[in-house]
Structure 1
Amino acid sequence: MISTGGCGNVGRLDLPYKGLFLCSQTGIQFRVESSTTIEYQFAFWGDYLGGVPQISFYTTGPVFNINIKAGLVSEVYLPHYVCLGGGYVDIGKFRIAHYKDENLVLESPMRIEPFFAVMENPSFSPVGVVLLRTLPKVFQRNIPMHGAVVMYSRYVRGHTIHLYLMPHDPSIQHEGVTNKEIKNGFSLVDKSPGTRTVYSGRRYIVEGPDGAEIIPEDLKLRLDSRPELYSYSEVYLSEMKDRFFLGVICMNNKKSVWRAAIRKGSQHFVDKHRVSLIQRVSNIDPILDDLLALNILSQEQYDTVRTQRTAQERVRELYDCVRSWGREEKDHLTQKRTKMHCRKKHNKTHKTLRHLTLNAL
């Protein structure tokens, strides 16, 4: 069983019996010999590489903090994003990086599989997969990788899409990029991210529909331990068609590595009726309490909205948060507002009937 902590990056596996178990959210696998409880979370390579000359290796997968609460783990399968079928890769250059006693230690894995480096009878500290650099930079090959295209969108007088090309590493996406984009009012575009084999150091062209402004028009695929440095192409459309295509093409051979159809979704009720909702909602406090209880609003957002002087100002402040929400969160806001409206209407009808009854008496 997998449960996610409040910050979104803490996992817990409660494994009832021996076997091999996969966490679908992070890609890590554990082989256990008995009933076992494991807690784990993504860490940041940058936290451990400050004093290490990274010229000696590439980081090629997430780094994990793992804690065995009970039971025995005989093998751990650490995910990597090197594509073994994409060209010559010396699997003898793979290492497991451990951070022990404030020192980084490189150990050879028991074996390398297409998506995993396997450790046997592991001892746990922050761990991740790296690939040794053995040649001067001028002679180094481009590393074949499983890539991902991740997009975020926002509408403000036009549609803006931020398109990222990165290694298929969920820690980069979730911990490094998504948090930044959501803070800026963008929402994740739900499209399959997987690409054909891509190569480090190569440049890839971003293609869009006629009339789209794309800046920059190409991206360089990089391996970096600091996800905040990953760049993106900004695609701007003043008007959006019902459907259009975005694609990524290798500049070297002009072959497509990724393509997706983007369809215009219907505006959500809370977006379509923003002005009327601001004018009509007179008591927002019960809505705020409900959103806070469900962790849709953070305490900081809740406090910021509550400090506004008038009901209209509070609703406007709430809409600054709403812009980055998905449909599920907006649906909940709509349902809560509808229930309050129905309750208010019922109370008004009840008072009218009571008044008529008293007059009849």
Structure 2
Amino acid sequence: MGIPTSSVSEQQESSEGQESGDICSEENQIVSSYAAKLGSEVEQDYTNHQFLGPEGNVDVELIDKSTNTYSLRFPTAGWYLWSATGLGFVVRDAVTVTIAFGSWSQHLALDLQHHEQWLAAGPLFAVTAEPEEAVAEIHLPHFISLQGEVDVSWFLVAHFKDEGMVLEQPSRVEPFYAVLDNPSFSLMGILLRIARGTRLSIPITSNTLLYFHPHPEDIKFHLYLVPSDALLTKMIDDEEERFCGVRLQTSPPVEPLTFGAHYIVSNSAHLEIIPTELKLSYRSPGEIQPFSKFYAGQMKEPIQLEITEKRHEILVWKTVVKPVDIQLGAAPSPPAFSGAAFVRENHRQLQARIGDLKGVLDDLQDNEVLSENEKELVEQAKTRQSKTDALLSMVEKKGDRALELLFRSLSERDPYLVSYLRQQSL
């Protein structure tokens, strides 16, 4: 099936409450640099980014800075996840893969702000492989939550070729990614195809990214609400860092949010927020990303931040920022990673999102973390979420060793979930 592509420029939303002077100039620089490039700073991090998969080094090389094209050398057969992008590969033998990052708006006329036929469901990648037959599967990331009214038959892989857009049904759709078996390569990404005129609430997994800009007299905050795209998060991190922004660790919303819905940002200190309303939409990495901004003076008291769904007035996210979180000066070295701490800190996220519970229970029984009776108690819970809650509570009471073994099992059984949650704290 071939569909001609068209090139359109995404309409830019006017900034609400635009300010003048040096502050306005600074933020214009931020958004201008988004639109102009995909970020030259990517090189310094991606070339050394961690891969999940077989032991052995994966060689990553930036081969064309002007197009942000990377060469990845997978040294042996196995499964690999490049967690910085969400891309996964199952390879039969050693293979070299080249990857560049694309923008939907440059290749397909998509109006993402209204209920059109097409919905971009993840980032766009230009991929090639040598030899091509060495790649058994490619896992393309998406941020659609497989809940509610979403039908996996709506998922399509869009290939952009000389003849136009060619659509392919994925072999299967999983949380966080869709799979192509024995893939052919091109500029490619996941689209959701919805019958024209159908008005559905599409649930997506999302991130809240909170940055502070230190200043002795007036500390500034930027708050983003974006789909859970690892590449998009990295690009925002890079741009904020260029202007001395520091990301605070916060949890993402536990429940999926609604694509296209409006969300209200508020705080307990009655500080002015500009704008107070954010619309949850997807813009490819490298394009302008909307954010809310507010100033907190010298930050002497804690501030509680909240995001509320506008239409139904439902609280979907909150966090507390304390003065100690933003103390000026050199930050201490981060502690060594702990699987036990990861499980404790992400209890609510894991409770809501763990998928392969049977395999995890088998692993924990094999490692003598759970007895047969304890395993049966978990399995007898009435709902998946209550089973997961029972499991987490049971393992947490057994101490750090049990939690480390649970983390090891989750990393093997649900690596995309673990990678997604770890991305929040980078």
User: Secondary structure of the residue that 1:78 maps to in structure 2?
Assistant: strand
Taking structure 1 as reference, are residues 229 and 98 closer, same or farther at Cα in structure 2, changes over 3 Å only? same
Query: What code does the residue aligned with 1:167 have?
Result: P
> Aligned residue pairs: how many?
264
Shift of 1:99: 0.8
Taking structure 1 as reference, are residues 203 and 69 closer, same or farther at Cα in structure 2, changes over 3 Å only? same
- Does the Cα contact within 8 Å between 2:124 and 2:189 map onto a contact in 1? yes
**What is the aligned partner in structure 2 of residue 77 from structure 1?**
139
User: C-alpha separation between the residues in 1 aligned to 2:286 and 2:123?
Assistant: 11
Taking structure 1 as reference, are residues 123 and 116 closer, same or farther at Cα in structure 2, changes over 3 Å only? same
The correspondence for 1:147, drawn from 187, 190, 206, is 206
> What is the TM-score when the length of structure 2 is the normalising length?
0.56
Whether 1:171 aligns to 2:228 is no
User: C-alpha separation between the residues in 1 aligned to 2:284 and 2:90?
Assistant: 28
The correspondence for 2:85, drawn from 7, 22, 26, is 26
Shift of 1:151: 2.4
User: C-alpha separation between the residues in 2 aligned to 1:238 and 1:211?
Assistant: 12
**What is the aligned partner in structure 1 of residue 195 from structure 2?**
134
Which digits, 9 at most, give the CA deviation of each residue in 1:181-206, with x for residues without a partner?
A: 445x2424142452231001222121
- Does the Cα contact within 8 Å between 2:74 and 2:95 map onto a contact in 1? yes
The aligned runs of 1:59-74 (5 Å cut-off) are 59-70=120-131, 72-74=134-136
User: Secondary structure of the residue that 2:232 maps to in structure 1?
Assistant: helix
Taking structure 1 as reference, are residues 102 and 192 closer, same or farther at Cα in structure 2, changes over 3 Å only? farther
**What is the aligned partner in structure 1 of residue 292 from structure 2?**
233
The aligned runs of 1:1-361 (5 Å cut-off) are 1=58, 3=60, 5=62, 11-49=70-108, 55-70=116-131, 72-85=134-147, 87-101=148-162, 103-136=164-197, 139-156=198-215, 157-175=217-235, 177-183=236-242, 185-192=243-250, 194-196=252-254, 197-225=256-284, 228-241=287-300, 243-263=302-322, 264-268=325-329
Shift of 1:111: 1.2
User: C-alpha separation between the residues in 1 aligned to 2:86 and 2:292?
Assistant: 27
Shift of 1:235: 1.9
Shift of 1:228: 3.0
Shift of 1:227: 5.9
Identity over aligned pairs, percent: 30
User: C-alpha separation between the residues in 1 aligned to 2:276 and 2:168?
Assistant: 40
- Does the Cα contact within 8 Å between 2:219 and 2:295 map onto a contact in 1? yes
User: Secondary structure of the residue that 2:233 maps to in structure 1?
Assistant: helix
Question: Which structure exhibits the higher relative contact order, with contacts defined as CA atoms closer than 8 Å and separated by 6 or more residues?
Answer: 2
User: C-alpha separation between the residues in 2 aligned to 1:262 and 1:5?
Assistant: 37
User: C-alpha separation between the residues in 1 aligned to 2:330 and 2:268?
Assistant: 28
**Unpaired segments of 5 or more residues in structure 1?**
271-361
User: C-alpha separation between the residues in 1 aligned to 2:68 and 2:249?
Assistant: 21
Shift of 1:93: 1.1
- Does the Cα contact within 8 Å between 1:2 and 1:11 map onto a contact in 2? no
Taking structure 1 as reference, are residues 140 and 37 closer, same or farther at Cα in structure 2, changes over 3 Å only? same
User: C-alpha separation between the residues in 1 aligned to 2:300 and 2:163?
Assistant: 54
Cα-Cα RMSD: 2.8
Query: What code does the residue aligned with 1:191 have?
Result: Q
User: Secondary structure of the residue that 1:25 maps to in structure 2?
Assistant: coil
- Bigger Rg, which one: 1
Shift of 1:146: 0.3
Query: What code does the residue aligned with 2:76 have?
Result: Y
Comparing 160-169 and 34-43, the one that deviates more: 34-43
Taking structure 1 as reference, are residues 200 and 70 closer, same or farther at Cα in structure 2, changes over 3 Å only? same
User: Secondary structure of the residue that 1:189 maps to in structure 2?
Assistant: strand
Which digits, 9 at most, give the CA deviation of each residue in 1:149-178, with x for residues without a partner?
A: 112322344111111111111333334x44
Which digits, 9 at most, give the CA deviation of each residue in 1:273-298, with x for residues without a partner?
A: xxxxxxxxxxxxxxxxxxxxxxxxxx
- Does the Cα contact within 8 Å between 2:81 and 2:89 map onto a contact in 1? yes
**What is the aligned partner in structure 1 of residue 13 from structure 2?**
none
**Unpaired segments of 5 or more residues in structure 2?**
1-57, 332-426
Shift of 1:89: 0.4
User: Secondary structure of the residue that 1:68 maps to in structure 2?
Assistant: strand
User: C-alpha separation between the residues in 1 aligned to 2:111 and 2:281?
Assistant: 17
